[in-house]
Structure 1
Amino acid sequence: MRNKIIRLCLVSVIALFSANAQDRKIAKANKSFADYNYYKAISQYEALVENGNTSPEIYQNLGDAYYFNASYEEAAKWYEMLANQGSDAIDKEHMYRYAVSLRTIKKYDESDQWIARLNSAKQGDQRGRNFSSNRDYLKKIDERSGGYTIDSLDINSPESDFSPSFHNENIVFSTARDTSITSKNVHNWNKKEFLNLYTATPSGDNDFTNVGPFSGKLNSKLHESSTAFTKDGKTVYFTRNNGINGKFRRDDDGVSRLQIYRATLKNGKWGNLESMPFNADDHSVAHPTLNKAEDKLYFSSDMPGTMGQSDIWVAEIRKNGSLGTPVNLGPKINSESKETFPFITEDDILYFASDGHPGLGGMDIFATDVKNLENSTIVNLGEPINSIYDDFSLIINNDTRQGYFASNRINGRGSDDIYSFLELRPLDFECLKDIAGIVKDKKTGAMLSNTNIVVYNDKGQKISKTLSKNDGTFTLKGKCNEGNYQVVGEKATYEKGMANFENKNGSPVERIELLLSQIEEAPTGTDLAKYLKLEPIYFDFDKSFIRADARVILEKVLAYMRRYPSAKVDVRSHTDSRANDNYNIALSDRRAKSTIAYLVAQGIDKSRITGDGYGETQLTNDCGNGVPCSKEKHQLNRRSEFIVVD
């Protein structure tokens, strides 16, 4: 008995020791993860999994460690393990990261399903709205692909090279080559590699030479990257880690945040270093770019007011050099994920990298027209600029349409490489919304073909038009502007059919049903122009031939007479008061005969149509003989009317 008790005690001690050892290993892995040491955290977490630990937290952190290190295929594997733990195991943010990871391995259908789940679980998520309004995003990306040629540059090293910028005739870029540390997470706030600024001179063969450090004054023991130069090359805005006297300054989480500094060139040396007023210890500010007038500074930040991991912001640069309060560019550009590495062209086209808009893989490069942002769409540049990997930090010469960007795609020289490109065709930023629908006879339910479909905005302006097909369906494009719209269907012998819809940011394709009621036969004495709500038929001055616009109106009269074969019509033609009275009687008579002849030529029996000319005896206004009137007023009197008779 005593020996049994001893054995039980030993087992309990061993189990307790084992549990404590397991807890210590989890704590060490969690610390590595919290310290952004993802490589070490991955090996520690995977060892725990091999020993039978199936904690959702470990699966989640493993997925994140791979995700933040741009190893998306591995991230997808662990996010799948997390999702398999149950519907409550994976939160909304990890639904999105799982969807992005699936895109990078071209499992687009599965990715779309997870975005749809996110959209259902979190109403109002901008990423979900972006997806809902762009469900055919792969088709659109494919249509835009092929607009560029790209080449890798010889200036790339086995380490990270990225974030090129124009400086006079040269480029300046960021590199980790000085310490031979390779990492794929240069676009995260927690940079671990040692970065310096390098410069290179064009060699004339679409490449560069004379590669070397940019400035001993700007390169320091901290990390420098992402420059933006004024046109004269004498002022630079650049990114650097928060630090004092070459030592990193960290926040409460142990992260040395990124900040933007400004320096000026004097006597060939960079100096007069200034920290931007919106820099802070608790958030990052990075990746500056200047507009053409150099009175606006665009940048990326996770400062208070940011929607997601990082947003694109803009701040005014005043004439005295001071900067205004940063303004967030808003939900059309920014999302709950990452928008970063902005570049603004001379004509205010904003390029930026994002994993919050529908794309091909990790981060894709997008563009939009910020000077007309309300009416502009967000354009994915497509392949070959974008890939299933991370593509970012694009710049482009406004005149030559040649530029550079960075990517961590495979077959490069390092983890991040710089590529040159040439734009072959311009981008189209017109924002169009798909509108689809069907037209039916309200009474019978029959599909109505060849119905005129017109979309109007709330100001009554015509936005788009089309004709319904043989099966009554129609599709057309409308503007993306938010507001109220009306779709009108119009067909001969039918009353107009109308449907209204409200366009909101991110709203999906509009689906419209138009119901048109058949017009009843008009009683004797009715003016068909009023009954059918037709425009009067006008004639040119001193002419009696049928104009093109008149033929459109006559088609509706023809449709009515075909619909009601017993109907008879008296055509009454009128002139204006110019010329003498007898001449005008003769002219109007010719116009009546011309109108009758047109209807007969279209198949209407001659016995059903009569007509007379009334000259200037029945004017519609006061433009009588000798009264000065405009051409437009006179034209109102040159018309034909259609009166139903027995």
Structure 2
Amino acid sequence: MVSNAIAQLQRADRYYNVGDFASAAENYTIAFENENHKEILTKLISSYYLSQDYANALTYLKLLVGGRFLEGDKSYDNNYNFIMYDVLNVKGNIKEAVDYLELYHNNGGRPFDKEKALQILKELEGTNSAFKIVKSNLSSESDDFGAVRVGDSIFFVSDRPSENVLSNLFGKRFKTTQRPFLDIYGVRVNDKNEFADEPVLLSKAINSKLHDGNFCFNSEGSEMFISRSAFSEGDTDRIFDEEGTNRVHLYKSVRIDGIWREAERLPFVRDEFSYMHPSLTRDGRRLYFSSDMDGGLGGFDIYYVMISLDGSYGTPVNLGPTINTTQRDQFPYVSGTGDLYYSTNGRVGLGMLDVFVAPLTVKGFTEPINLGAPINSKYDDFSFSYYKDNNGLVATSRNGTNDDIYSFIQNGDFIKREFNTLFEIRDAVTNELIPNAKIRIEGYQGKEIYNESKEAPSAFNIPLAVDDYTFIGSGDNYPETRMKIEVRGNTNEPYVFKVDRIFTEEELRIIDEKNLAKDLKEKDPSRFELLTDTIGPEVIEKDGRLYIDVAPIYFDFDLSVIREDSEKVLDELAKKLLKYEKIKLKIESHTDSRGPAAYNLPLSERRAKSTFDYLVSKGVNPSRLEYKGFGSSDPVVKCAAGECTDEQYQLNRRSEFEITGY
């Protein structure tokens, strides 16, 4: 009996390791009935989840989270809380799903706004009227996805049967689906993306004997980047990871005299990781892709690599937490306007993989937006692309059995490019709106984009695109004062701009320092208390803003580690923040001028993050802190690189602390 149980489990493991998750689930079910162990239960759940049998996955997830297995230790891997969220979301149990998503993030030490998540899901319940979709007759009973239209032809990926498929000739099937391996097809279509002729398999230079998946062309159609099952040099041995999974790598084929040449692996690809889903910018200089390489945020992250004019490749760059999550971030596509579309299951959405767009600004990509229904569904939605104007293609598994290709038409630009932004100009002492207020706003390179004044005390409501701006405010007896602002989307809070009043000689004669202090104490007691507290680091006022005046936080050249001589300074700062629990603080980090700006900016971000992490480690709530790196753009001592003294370089390597709320 014991030997039969062991054999059953070994058979299940073999199915699981080759990706035949349906067969694995069948065998794990029997194994779990024989031996009620946690390890078998988790593999059983994963098998049902990966084979998209969400009803059975939910049944066994309830056993796991309820501790209904033999082991006395009832803990389980945190990822199963995320799987529970995913499955419950698909089944329509929204509130319970978000409870598990909150548990997943809390266990991972990440902040999570439960109310915001529920609000997003409520907003996604409706249909995005900007899109109309229809199932394409390119779809078959097999998996069809990754469609790209070029001229009057559509190229796509499919595992449909074909007498020309190389894997058929070898008698091979992919064990997960028991269908042929994925290959790339092409077909001529009409304006409705309907085809009359049968799709044609592309050449052997493009299609290998195993999987050939998502791909992209350059704008001239002379280069093709392909996701492909990884082979070693010489196309003889497949490349596997430690768990026995065949890796996926990026390859490139070049068309010469109308003939596609043998695809070659891209030089930055490393054997131990997967690289897939290529998307090339229109100018051919930047290649986006998805990878599980080390140093990422989670399962798969979106990266890009620069391509030089000579065809050489740079080092892959992770797009960071603005785009990537702890889960799957895949299928990037860059539109003609530079906006990044991609699919992820790591953000709150309708279920499984949803398509998001991160609009491009001069500062990079902004917060991703869920495209909603009908583009997205409760199942996987991916491989989004445009081909002309507002027409495009997308893949989905919403029928519950296989991946299908849909065409869509978009009505106008659904991306909100401007946001109504509220500004208030207030007296720095009385906190009252000032009369005869004047406001100017400068954008990129100091270009004036707004100039207005108002006689009566009032706020300014100004539509602004996502970007960085300089705000210049003034008024009668209030000199011009400047403030940097960052517009990143809708905000319910106004930008409050506080200016210092210039008193007349008569006013100065009758107002002494004591009365000013008394007035401040009555009008703004919290500000008064901060400015007069002599214990710990001093709070000072500059240009109407408050700063905590600590000894400089210095860093060694090229490093972001907090120096020992600065730990004591930060300890005192932490005590101040713990004493005044309403203070919100912005950490600004600066580098010296050595090194290129492209290197200094991320270095300063890391230094600001190190300062942030140190304060959090001392008990300061991270929600009270924000941090930003400025690179070498704002030195204390202005001296050219190579001409500063060591002392001047050190002064420029610093962190500063602005109080943004109290």
Q: TM-score range by the shorter chain?
A: 0.5 to 0.7
1:406 is aligned, of 389, 395, 418, to 395
Deviations 1:46-101 (A, max 9, x none): 12344472x33233222211222233333233222211118953332211121111
1:59 is aligned, of 16, 41, 53, to 41
| Displacement of 1:286 | 0.8
Partner of 1:146: 129
Partner of 1:292: 282
More contact order relative to length (CA 8 Å, sep ≥ 6): 1
Q: Which amino acid aligns with 2:109?
A: Q
Deviations 1:199-220 (A, max 9, x none): 1111344412323334222222
Mapped to 1, the partners of 2:25 and 2:418 lie a distance apart of: 43
2:409 is aligned, of 422, 433, 436, to 422
Mapped to 2, the partners of 1:132 and 1:405 lie a distance apart of: 30
| Displacement of 1:230 | 1.7
Size of the alignment, in residue pairs? 481
Partner of 2:153: 170
- Does 1:90 find its partner at 2:76? yes
Mapped to 2, the partners of 1:512 and 1:234 lie a distance apart of: 50
Partner of 1:340: 330
- Does 1:239 find its partner at 2:233? no
Partner of 1:104: 90
Distance 1:268 1:169, change over 3 A: same
1:385 is aligned, of 364, 375, 381, to 375
| Displacement of 1:512 | 12
Q: Which amino acid aligns with 1:61?
A: K
Partner of 1:210: 197
Distance 1:39 1:179, change over 3 A: farther
**Is the 2:254–2:260 contact (alpha carbons within 8 Å) kept by the matching residues of 1?**
yes
| Displacement of 1:32 | 3.0
Mapped to 2, the partners of 1:433 and 1:285 lie a distance apart of: 40
Partner of 1:73: 55
Deviations 1:138-163 (A, max 9, x none): 24434661221111111222111111
- Does 1:369 find its partner at 2:359? yes
Where does the alignment leave 5 or more consecutive residues of structure 2 unmatched? 166-173, 423-436, 451-460, 474-482, 497-505, 511-662
Give the 3-state SS of the residue equivalent to 1:211 in structure 2. Answer: coil
**Is the 1:316–1:324 contact (alpha carbons within 8 Å) kept by the matching residues of 2?**
yes
5 Å-filtered alignment, 1:548-563, equals none
**Is the 2:339–2:365 contact (alpha carbons within 8 Å) kept by the matching residues of 1?**
no
Mapped to 2, the partners of 1:505 and 1:117 lie a distance apart of: 28
2:23 is aligned, of 40, 64, 69, to 40
Mapped to 2, the partners of 1:401 and 1:246 lie a distance apart of: 44
Alpha carbon RMSD of aligned pairs, Å? 5.2
Partner of 1:309: 299
| Displacement of 1:507 | 13
Mapped to 1, the partners of 2:466 and 2:191 lie a distance apart of: 44
5 Å-filtered alignment, 1:461-480, equals none
Distance 1:199 1:512, change over 3 A: closer
Deviations 1:557-600 (A, max 9, x none): xxxxxxxxxxxxxxxxxxxxxxxxxxxxxxxxxxxxxxxxxxxx
**Is the 1:351–1:368 contact (alpha carbons within 8 Å) kept by the matching residues of 2?**
yes
| Displacement of 1:477 | 11
- Does 1:260 find its partner at 2:250? yes
Distance 1:506 1:114, change over 3 A: farther
Distance 1:80 1:434, change over 3 A: farther
Q: Which amino acid aligns with 1:226?
A: N
Distance 1:374 1:320, change over 3 A: closer
Give the 3-state SS of the residue equivalent to 2:382 in structure 1. Answer: strand
1:115 is aligned, of 101, 104, 121, to 101
Mapped to 1, the partners of 2:101 and 2:468 lie a distance apart of: 24
Mapped to 2, the partners of 1:353 and 1:384 lie a distance apart of: 15
Q: Which amino acid aligns with 1:252?
A: E
Deviations 1:106-165 (A, max 9, x none): 11111111122223222237xx47x67554212443466122111111122211111111
Distance 1:68 1:341, change over 3 A: same
Mapped to 1, the partners of 2:197 and 2:32 lie a distance apart of: 49
Structure index of larger Rg: 1
**Is the 2:419–2:490 contact (alpha carbons within 8 Å) kept by the matching residues of 1?**
no
| Displacement of 1:410 | 1.4
**Is the 2:276–2:289 contact (alpha carbons within 8 Å) kept by the matching residues of 1?**
yes
Partner of 1:628: none
Give the 3-state SS of the residue equivalent to 1:45 in structure 2. Answer: helix
Mapped to 1, the partners of 2:406 and 2:331 lie a distance apart of: 16
Give the 3-state SS of the residue equivalent to 1:239 in structure 2. Answer: strand
Seq. identity, %: 25
Where does the alignment leave 5 or more consecutive residues of structure 1 unmatched? 1-16, 182-187, 436-451, 464-474, 489-499, 514-522, 528-646
5 Å-filtered alignment, 1:262-281, equals 262-281=252-271
Mapped to 1, the partners of 2:293 and 2:79 lie a distance apart of: 19
Distance 1:173 1:387, change over 3 A: same
Distance 1:426 1:45, change over 3 A: same
Distance 1:434 1:139, change over 3 A: farther
**Is the 1:165–1:395 contact (alpha carbons within 8 Å) kept by the matching residues of 2?**
yes
* TM-score (norm. length: structure 1): 0.62
Mapped to 2, the partners of 1:311 and 1:196 lie a distance apart of: 24
Give the 3-state SS of the residue equivalent to 1:136 in structure 2. Answer: helix
